[in-house]
Structure 1
């Protein structure tokens, strides 16, 4: 039963439970259709009274700058341009609806435009796939679908990486020719694809070495210094469960729960540690945020005032494994559970490893 007889005369705050600072779900369910109810419940509500503010939804901070405006317009231009050059499956849909009269591949004008033909079986591509022994089977084996071709290449031990580079360059070369842009010759595709693949592999190996050397310390949990207690937190989002907030908003809500929990237990000197770099940066920042997540960050900062000393720490996922494991296990825990001396059996091995490493 809806308690508002004429809700047109009420403001949005009439839909908020002032005691819990959350949406009045029963009221919302009675006033709006299901689609609108879902959208409303996805809007985070701050614990403190805040004024209505316009914000830019295409930046993490909610602030608008000329740079963000330019990036938005640039992205819109790309979307419009991509719609002018339709993918093959879109063209096939238009053909079925009789929007276009024919579907002929422009490079050879002798066959229907399909993925396999466009990057592989077109006779005009002999200069690409006829070079070397890797693709000498081209004239002997026929394929109808791209999936069929890829499965055959994989079964025969052919280089799928090299094929991907060559196919992409064939497609890219054709698109550039269509719009009168400078493009490589088909004779050069095989050689340049091999060079790009070699460069990619070299860069990947260098990156692996650099990451291993630089970040090995950040992959493990470390115990706090004397006089401080460390509070690790993490969130879990499940597809099968109705999600009221976005993942970054859930992360902020969990951080708020963690710091509130610590305060209720009497801790006044603590480290709040999580694996969301964006959230930890926001908590450390002295600048305000206009985004919906910013309201939740402000709630965390309000609770932080009650601490004598509070530090924020970012750690990679491997250094936050206990909190991550607990978060994923919440589906099996119907109510609030608190462990003081004992711990949940499913995290004992992870906890022992962290204690051993940090000692």
Structure 2
């Protein structure tokens, strides 16, 4: 599998951390539009990423609009120790709105879970409106309704234990994954030799 280009910037940890901080600032603004700020406080998830239960794989997903107008989907799967098991990034040339893009990222994460033989998974996303829709089966307007139904059909498989919301600062690894396709092509799935920048930010989640 191909990986990030081997550049000085990616090898320099100080540059990596600075880039991470810029991603967080950008992500904060982005998620204010996605996270449903008017939703009841008790429905909002964790501030930081937490390890799943033993035997469960947590799959974080995110979507981002890229500079060329296409959409990047990001997926990262981690085990109960916080170890990275899978990283994926996919560029979709479509003019989706935010909630549609986020639901497509969830569907992509579930498809990868099935294809890679995961046995118990939970899907975590920073898109509170979408998490509520797929979890509670609330009615939503088209074309989002079709995307929500797609996620719900995939989630009907017994390996999916449900969905949960995480605040914007806790989902930065998935956000970074969504941007990988700007550098690596339309789609890349890693099950080993993960991009260094992703591993660095994933390690920060465990501090």
CA contact (8 A) 1:273 1:315 kept: yes
Q: Which residue of 229, 248, 252 corresponds with 2:57? A: 229
1:150-197 deviation digits (Å, cap 9, x = unpaired) = xxxxxxxxxxxxxxxxxxxxxxxxxxxxxxxxxxxxxxxxxxxxxxxx
Aligned residue in 1 for 2:155: 304
CA RMSD of aligned residues (A): 2.3
Moved more, 302-311 or 248-257: 302-311
* Equivalent position SS for 1:236: strand
Aligned residue in 2 for 1:200: none
Structure 2: gaps (5+ residues): 1-40, 71-93
Aligned residue in 2 for 1:320: 171
* Equivalent position SS for 1:234: strand
CA contact (8 A) 1:218 1:316 kept: yes
Moved more, 277-286 or 288-297: 288-297
* Equivalent position SS for 2:62: coil
CA contact (8 A) 1:289 1:295 kept: no
Structure whose alpha-carbon radius of gyration is higher:
1
Aligned residue in 2 for 1:257: 108
Q: Which residue of 66, 72, 86 corresponds with 1:238? A: 66
Q: Is 1:219 aligned with 2:70?
A: no
The TM-score, its normalising length taken from structure 1, stands at: 0.37
Larger helix share, 1 or 2: 1
Aligned residue in 2 for 1:270: 121
Taking the TM superposition and a 5 Å limit, the aligned residue runs for 1:1-12 are: none
Q: Which residue of 286, 295, 298 corresponds with 2:146? A: 295
* Equivalent position SS for 1:272: strand
Highest RCO, 1 vs 2 (Cα 8 Å, sep ≥ 6): 2
Please state how far the C-alpha of 1:286 moved relative to its aligned partner: 3.0
CA contact (8 A) 1:218 1:315 kept: yes
Q: Which whole-Å CA distance do the structure 2 matches of 1:342 and 1:247 have between them? A: 30
* Equivalent position SS for 1:226: coil
* Equivalent position SS for 2:187: coil
Taking the TM superposition and a 5 Å limit, the aligned residue runs for 1:16-165 are: none
Please state how far the C-alpha of 1:222 moved relative to its aligned partner: 0.7
Q: Which whole-Å CA distance do the structure 2 matches of 1:246 and 1:314 have between them? A: 19
Q: Which residue of 109, 113, 130 corresponds with 1:279? A: 130
Q: 1:308 to 1:326 in 2, by over 3 A?
A: closer
CA contact (8 A) 2:62 2:125 kept: yes
Please state how far the C-alpha of 1:335 moved relative to its aligned partner: 4.0
Q: Which whole-Å CA distance do the structure 2 matches of 1:256 and 1:308 have between them? A: 14
CA contact (8 A) 2:155 2:162 kept: no
Q: 1:223 to 1:346 in 2, by over 3 A?
A: same
Q: Which residue of 196, 200, 207 corresponds with 1:345? A: 196
The TM-score, its normalising length taken from structure 2, stands at: 0.62
Q: How many residues align?
A: 143
CA contact (8 A) 2:69 2:95 kept: no
Structure 1: gaps (5+ residues): 1-210
* Equivalent position SS for 1:337: strand
Please state how far the C-alpha of 1:238 moved relative to its aligned partner: 2.1
